[in-house]
Structure 1
Amino acid sequence: MDTSYHVIGLMSGTSLDGLDIAYCRFTYKSQNWIYEILNTTTLPYTDELIDSLRGAETATALELVELDHAFGRFMGQQVHEFVQQHEIHPDFVASHGHTIFHQPGKHISLQLGHGAYLAAHAQLPVVCDFRTLDIALGGQGAPLVPIGDELLFGNYDYCVNLGGIANVSYAQRNTRRAFDTSACNMLLNTLANSLGMPYDNNGDLARSGSLQHNLLEALNSPSHFSTPPPKSLGKEWVLQYSLKSIEESQASVADKLHTVCHHIAQQLRQALPLLHEGRHRVLLTGGGAFNAYLVEQIKQQLGAQYEVEVPAPEVVSFKEALIFAFLGVLRWRGEHNCLSSVTGASRNNTGGAIYLC
C-alpha cells in the first residue's frame, strides 16, 4: 500500500534571505520515495528581524531566549496564515530553524525558533532540532540534507547547494559523503548589501570585475579546505576567515565579487572526485544557482566531464525546505535521517524533537 505524508518544510538560511515555506507531498511507493512540491513562498525578513538574527551571537542569555521564543512564534504565525491562504491540511511542520552558533568541535549547534512556540501558533505538530542528537553522538550535526539527496535525488552523481554556505553530497562506493565546501551567498550578499543591493542580480556586477590574485589566495588559504571530511562551516568561521579577508582587501566591490565567484568554483572543483567513467551529473540548487556568472565559473572549473544542471526555479529555491520536510517524515516514522558517514557521528541516528499540538 502506498503511504503519503503532507508536510510543511521551513528553512531559514545563513544569508538571511527570508523564511522559505514549502508544502510538500511525499509518497512511499515500491520501496521508493516520490516528492511533489505543492505550494511555496519566501517571506522576506524585516530590517528589525534581520538585525536581531544577525546580532544574536552577541546577545545576552535572556535576549537569546526571548528571540528563540519570538522567532518560533513568528514562524508559527506565518505557517498558520499560509495554511489558511492555501486551504491545505498538513500532517505536521518540519523546521530547520535559524542557525546562530555552529561549533561542533565544542559540541555546539544552536538553531533559533523554538518548536513549542511554533507548534502553538501554527496549531500543528512540529518536528525540529534536527542537529543536536548527531552532535551528542560526536558528529558535526551537518550537513543534514544528504539523506534527502540520496532518497529523492539519487539520479544525480552530485548534489550541490549554493546557499549561504555551499556544500556537496555524493555517493562513493555505496556510501554517502557530504561536507561544506566554502562560504557562498554569505559572501556574495554581504558585498552586494554594501552597495545597497539585496544581491548581485545574475552576477552582473561580479562579471564586470577583475580577478584579485592576492584576495583569491587569502580566501583559499584556511586549513578547512585541505582538511578531509567530515567537516562543516558555521557563521563564526566565515566571519573569522572569509569575510575578514574580504574586508582587508582594498579592491572594489565588483572585483571582490568576481574573485569570490572564482573562489567558490575552485573549492567546488577540489571537492568533486571522479566517481566513474563518462559524464558526471551535477545538480545545482540554492540562491547561488541564480547567479549566472557563478554558474559559468563552476562549469568552467569542472570541465567537460561534469554535466552541470540547474533545475526548475521551484527546486532551486525550495530544495532545502523540501528536504527538511522529508527529514521530518523520516523522524515521524522513526527512521534514520542523519548519516554517520557524512557527519562523523558514532552511528546513524534519528534526529528531531517532536511537539504535538
Structure 2
Amino acid sequence: MIRALGLMSGTSLDGIDVAVIATDGAADVMPGPARSFAYSDDDRALLRAALAAAEGLPADPATRAARPGVLSEAEARVTLRHAEAVRDFLAAESIDPASIDVIGFHGQTVIHRPDAHFTVQIGDGAALARETGRPVAFDFRAADVAAGGQGAPLVPIYHSALVKAAGFDEAVVVVNVGGVANLTYVDDGPPIAFDTGPGNALIDDMMFSRAGEKMDIGGTTAAEGKIDFTALAEMLAHPYFALPPPKSLDRNAFSSSRVANLPLPDAVATLTALTAHSIVRGIDLLPKEPKLVVLSGGGVHNLTLRWQLMQLLPCGLVTADRLGWSADAMEAQAFAYLAVRRLKNLPITFPTTTGVAQPLEGGRLLIA
C-alpha cells in the first residue's frame, strides 16, 4: 500500500482540502485524516482576478504554460498556500513528512476549454516538490485534453473504487457538487461520468457580488426566496444540457445574468434550482435509473439544494458521510488516489468518462 496526500482547490474558491489515504491504486483504499484550509479574502480576490485574466488567454495548447500579468502572481500564491497547507496539515495530524510517498496536486483551474484542447491549472508542481520535499504528481488534465478528451471529470475512477468496495449490486450514482457539478455512474461496466452543469459557482458568485458573502451558508438565502420558474426554464434551455456525455464545463460557462435583477433570495433560489434540475437531467441521460444517488462536495451543506434533489430524483439520496465516506474530503482523496496511479503508470481517464479514445495515463511526476 502506498501512502499518498491529496490536495484539492476547487472552482468554488473557498480554500484547500487536504487528505491522506493508503491505497494500491486499485480496489484497496484506506482513508486517513483530512482537513480544510480556507483562502483569505485577499487570496480569493487574487484568484477572481486570475479567472478574469484567463478568459483573455488565447486557446493555444502551445502557450498553456504562459502566466501573463496577474496569473503569475496567482500561481505563486496558490503554490505557497498549498505548501503551507501541507506543512500545517502534517503538523496538526502528527504525520512524519517522510511517510508520505507522493502528493497529488490538482492546482487551481482558471480556464477549461476542452473543445479547443486547452485547459490551465495554475500551481507550480516543481516548487511544491521543493517546498515539501516529497514527490508531486500534478497537471492531471493536460494529456487527456491533448488527446481529444474532455479532461474532466477526473474523480470517477476513485468513485468507482469506493462504490465497488462498498459491495453495491445495483447501479449507483455519485454526484459531486463543487463549483461545477459532476456525476459518476457505476454499474457492471466501466464508469460513465460527465459534468452535469453549474454547481456552487453561480450561487457563490451571486452571494459575493450582492451580499459580500462567500457562499449561501446552509442554503438559507435560497430557502427564503421563491424560484422564478420562467428564468429557470430559460436557463435550462442551454444547449449543454441536451448534449450526450462525455462532456465537461468551464466554471464560467454559464451566466447568472437572467436572475441578476431579482431580489437576492429569489435569485439564489433560482440558481440553486438550476443546479438541482441540471443534476437530474444528467441522470436522465444514463443507461438506466440508479438505485441510489450519493451526494458529495461542498453542495452537501446546502440544505435547500438537498431538499430540492430529494423532491426531483427518481431514487434515494444519501450523503457520502452516511456511507462512511467523506463528502468534504472526497476530491482531495481522489487526487491522492490519482497520484498513486501516476506512480504505477495506470490510466486515470477513459472513453466513458472523458471521451478519450482509449484509457490514458495522466499527470506529471516530479521528484523532490
TM-score with structure 1 length normalisation? 0.90
Counterparts of residues 306-345 of structure 1 (less than 5 Å)? 306-312=315-321, 315-345=326-356
| Other-structure match for 1:291 | 302
- Mapped partners of 2:119, 2:155: distance in 1: 16
Counterparts of residues 262-277 of structure 1 (less than 5 Å)? 262-273=273-284
| Other-structure match for 2:71 | 64
- Mapped partners of 1:147, 1:262: distance in 2: 28
**Unaligned regions of 5+ residues in structure 1, if any?**
none
Contact 2:217 2:302 in 1 (8 A): yes
**Unaligned regions of 5+ residues in structure 2, if any?**
55-66
| Other-structure match for 2:195 | 180
The RMSD of aligned alpha carbons is 2.0
**CA deviation vs aligned residue, 1:38-63 (integer Å, no higher than 9, x gap):** 22221111122111111114177154
| Other-structure match for 1:40 | 34
Counterparts of residues 113-192 of structure 1 (less than 5 Å)? 113-154=123-164, 155=168, 157-171=172-186, 174-192=189-207
**Cα 1:71–1:202 shift into 2, 3 Å:** closer
- Mapped partners of 1:246, 1:348: distance in 2: 41
SS of aligned partner of 1:77: helix
Counterparts of residues 74-113 of structure 1 (less than 5 Å)? 74-88=81-95, 89-113=99-123
The structural deviation recorded for 1:80 is 2.2
| Other-structure match for 2:14 | 17
**CA deviation vs aligned residue, 1:67-120 (integer Å, no higher than 9, x gap):** 323422331232123223322121121011100010011111111111001111
| Other-structure match for 2:213 | 197
- Mapped partners of 2:211, 2:70: distance in 1: 30
Letter in 1 for 2:46: S
The structural deviation recorded for 1:282 is 0.8
SS of aligned partner of 2:152: coil
The structural deviation recorded for 1:336 is 1.0
**Cα 1:202–1:262 shift into 2, 3 Å:** same
**CA deviation vs aligned residue, 1:221-259 (integer Å, no higher than 9, x gap):** 211011111110112313xxx323333xx2111111211
**Farther off after superposition, 62-71 or 293-302:** 62-71
Contact 1:22 1:41 in 2 (8 A): yes
- Mapped partners of 1:196, 1:67: distance in 2: 21
- Mapped partners of 2:337, 2:313: distance in 1: 30
- Mapped partners of 1:276, 1:199: distance in 2: 34
TM-score with structure 2 length normalisation? 0.87
- Mapped partners of 2:267, 2:70: distance in 1: 35
The structural deviation recorded for 1:27 is 4.9
| Other-structure match for 1:5 | 2
> How many residue pairs align between the two structures?
343
Structure 1 stretches of 4+ moved >6 Å: none
SS of aligned partner of 2:28: strand
**Cα 1:66–1:197 shift into 2, 3 Å:** closer
- Mapped partners of 1:350, 1:27: distance in 2: 16
Letter in 2 for 1:73: L
| Other-structure match for 2:232 | 216
Contact 2:192 2:352 in 1 (8 A): yes
The structural deviation recorded for 1:6 is 1.2
Letter in 1 for 2:177: L
**Cα 1:200–1:34 shift into 2, 3 Å:** same
The structural deviation recorded for 1:136 is 1.1
- Mapped partners of 1:48, 1:227: distance in 2: 38
**Farther off after superposition, 6-15 or 256-265:** 256-265
